[in-house]
Amino acid sequence: MELAFFIYFAAVIAATSVMVVAVRNPIYSAIALLIMFFHVAGLYVTLHAEFLAAVQVIVYAGAILVLYLFVVMLLNLRQDDRYHRQWPMAAAVGATLVIEAVILTVMKGWTTPVVAAGTETTVEGTSNAGAIGDVLYSTYLFPFEVASLILLVAMIGAILLAKKDIVEVNSEG
């Protein structure tokens, strides 16, 4: 049963991620990415990461993708987008990565690693969101604060980068 769900989600994720790269129109790329985000959220649910599934839908599909669509429509692109001229280099890098993956798979085999039990951040018996909150506010408190700082810096930076120079506009008008 779990395998059937995984196969469905994996097939849709792989197909839509190829579509994101292959489709010409940026709007269609963004819509394909939206479908992919929802299926990744479904994959998280099958992995019992319910909190992350909700956050994936809210943050990725709700905030990030809306921002992308907004910019795509704001810039009103022409349809002259073709593939890059450095495709031989892209093919070389891609082929190298594929060969590395094949070699690693063959060398290591398909054995799964041993399960580490009783580590510091193992939390049992609570809900998923509760367990994450428990760890986030104790072990990872400092990175959590740093993340809030990153968001603040990004907000200020985005406003400064995207705003027009007000002094210049005033002197013109």
Compute the half-sphere exposure of residue 146: CA atoms within 13 Å on the CB side of its CA: 5
Shortest Å distance, C-beta 173 to other proteins: 17
Shortest Å distance, C-beta 76 to other proteins: 10
Q: Site residues for other proteins, window 137-156 (CB under 8 A)?
A: 139-140, 143, 147, 150-151, 153-155
Give every CB contact of residue 123 below 8 A, 6+ residues apart in sequence: 130, 131, 134, 135
Smaller CB separation from other proteins, 116 or 167: 116
Indicate the length of the chain as a whole number: 173
Query: Under the criterion CB under 8 A, does residue 127 sit at the interface with other proteins?
Result: no
The two three-digit tokens of residue 80, written as one number = 């002259």
Binder to other proteins among 106, 110, 167, 169 (CB under 8 A)? 110
Q: What is the DSSP letter of 77?
A: -
Smaller CB separation from other proteins, 82 or 170: 82
Binder to other proteins among 103, 122, 127, 145 (CB under 8 A)? 122
User: Are 126 and 134 a contacting pair, CB within 8 Å?
Assistant: yes
